Structure formats: C-alpha cells, structure tokens
Structure 1
C-alpha cells in the first residue's frame, strides 16, 4: 500500500516542472540542453520536500525519464495516488472558526476534492466576504475578510504567479490589508501561513 507523502502545493510544483520539461521536449533538439532541463525539473521538484525516503526520491526522479506528453500525464496521474488529502473538516468545525458570522453560508463539503485542496475558500456573495480555512499543526485556522475586485493584474505572493488580483481586506494584528488572488495554484505555502498566522489574535 502506497503511503501519501505529497502535499497539494508540492504536486503543483511537480506539475509545473513536468510542463516545463514537456515544452523543452517539443522545442529543443540539443540533447545537452534537454539533459539540463531534465536535471533542473527534478531538482526543483525535490527542493520542495524537507525529507524523502530513498523510494520517494526515486519516484520523483522518474520525472526526468519521460519523452512524451502521455507519459508525463500518466506519471502525474500515478503521483496523485501519493497526495496527502486536506483533513476532513465538518460544518460544525468551520462554524466554530467564524463565531461572529451568525448566518454563515458554508460551501458544499460533499463536493470538495480534498486530495487537490491546499486551503478551503469560498465567498458569501450576499455579504461580499471571503472565508479561508487552512490546516496548520493539527488544527484549523480560519480567517474572513472583504474581497474587492481590482480589475488589475499583479504578482500574487501566495500563488507565485502573475494574474488578476482581488483586494482582500482583513484585520490582522497590525490591521494592514493584503492582496490575495481569487484563484490559486499554490506552489509554496510559506507566505500563506505567515499571512494566516498574522490574523490569529
């Protein structure tokens, strides 16, 4: 039985590196350049893990051995079996995280793909408030704030991508607002955790 060891954000990194490799395979003829790309893709994938067993490292290193799009997709499909799912969270647990939200509208927890979730987020359209639930050290962190469309593109410090941003106004310890992308494929949770922990009073 395979033991899950890949967090969703780490899987996003591996997917990004697989796409990087695929693009090189389609456009680069020089074998030395391709070998460098293969080495870089594997190195970048391994760097997001603190600890790996020999078997886990060997599995991730297989990324460099594929030549075709369907092979890379099959490999990613196989890796999904090693994903650590988002911890099961109940409606009651979520409600406890937001005691001031008296008429809290929850997402449909039955339809959440927990294997591909880094954090739960949903917007209450009636109040224009964004809610985030994130697992941290055997517990859940919950924050809420007002979301405003900016109609501008910029660099999201959470998703590490240039995309359209929303202005997420949250009262943190320092009462300073931060930007949060409306949709995210997170590849590093460091800034997300720093932001979330700054809201814990």
Structure 2
C-alpha cells in the first residue's frame, strides 16, 4: 500500500516527534528514555495504522537519543509529500458557500500550502468576521461568524490547545419561529496555527456540530 495521511495526522506525528526529542534533552535515565521511545512508536502507529517503509524509517531515525529538533524537523518534512491536501476551492465555489455575504474578501490563495489544512479559515479585519471552509462527505461547506476584538490567551474549541483566541459567534436561524440566535465559542485567531495544533478530525467536527446545533 502507498502511504497517505491527512493533514491532522501529519501534524500529530510532528508533535509526537517534537515531544520525544524534547525529552531526550531533559531525561538522562536510559530506562525512562526507552519507555518514552516505546510510547512514541505506539502513538505513531496508532496515528498511521499499517506497515509503511516511510514510517518504519522515521521510527528508526528518531530512536537516536542524540537527535535535536533541527534534524527531526527535516525527517518529518520528508513525510509531507504523502499528505492528502485540503481540496483547493476556486473563488466561484467559495462565493457560492458564502453567497449571503455581499462583499466577500478573500485571502491570497496562491500562497497557501493546502497540505497544512484540515479546514481553511481566514479573518476579514474590516468586518471583524471569520470565514471557515470545510468538507463534509466531499461537499464544501462553510461557517461565518463575528469575532470579538479582545484577543486572550485561552483554550481553543477546535484544536484543544492553549493559544491566542477570540470569541467566534455564528448566526443560526432557529427552527419554527424564524428568529436568529448566535452560537459561539473561543477559537484560535491564527487559523494556520490552529490547523498545526489540530491532531484529531473529530475535534473540528464536534465544534461544527456545537455551532450548528439549534
């Protein structure tokens, strides 16, 4: 089988390797190091089930306790060609998703590495809104919401990491009476960093469900 992985799996492997190398610099006891290596190997196999030469080679390489972050960053980057990118939408598709937005301001999509994204989002500073694109059953969908001006250090509802976050408030139409309600939660201001921190797809799916729940 040919190795493929989703962006969030790649990001998780990167964190596992980073944490292991960090422990190499902090721990001297050989039995503890061996236990940490075994745990890292288990976590990588859980992230990417199956037998792949590329994963086996990575595991062999990271068992060297002399490793430092610069070397391991290169090792992990060698896996990036196997990442299945977020399917790049064109401007017409994005406009259709956010068709209720009269003046939609888009970021420069030509500089985006789509392999970094489980979801794609950007901030419109002028309107203080955040736009979120994602796929569900291969269908391109979106969320739009107001973002609060105060940026605070806090827990992101998407990636489950502590980052600079702001309140994202999405407008939802209630069933029956036709009125609108705002559903919100704190999420990362920097959506690329949020994707780098996102290691489980279901974290994002739960966020979407919470926002859309009536």
Q: Tell me the TM-score normalised to structure 2 length.
A: 0.82
Deviations 1:81-133 (A, max 9, x none): 21111112111111110110111111211111112122211112221111011
| 85-94 or 68-77, larger mean C-alpha shift | 68-77
Relative distance call for 1:195 and 1:44 in structure 2 (3 A) is same
Aligned with 1:15: secondary structure?
helix
- Counterpart-to-counterpart distance in 1, 2:130 and 2:3: 30
Partner of 1:125: 125
Partner of 2:5: 6
Q: 2:63 aligns with which of 62, 65, 76?
A: 65
Contact residue 146 and residue 168 of structure 1 kept, 8 A: yes
Partner of 1:16: 15
- Counterpart-to-counterpart distance in 2, 1:200 and 1:94: 23
Aligned with 2:204: secondary structure?
helix
Deviations 1:36-68 (A, max 9, x none): 11112222233334x434546535644642331
Aligned with 2:164: secondary structure?
strand
Partner of 1:157: 157
Does 2:122 match 1:115? no
Relative distance call for 1:148 and 1:4 in structure 2 (3 A) is farther
| 115-124 or 173-182, larger mean C-alpha shift | 173-182
Q: Tell me the TM-score normalised to structure 1 length.
A: 0.86
The gaps in structure 2 that reach 5 residues or longer are 175-180
RMSD: 2.5
Residue 173 of structure 1: CA displacement?
6.7
Does 2:206 match 1:194? yes
| 96-105 or 171-180, larger mean C-alpha shift | 171-180
Deviations 1:159-199 (A, max 9, x none): 22112210000134774322211121212221311232453
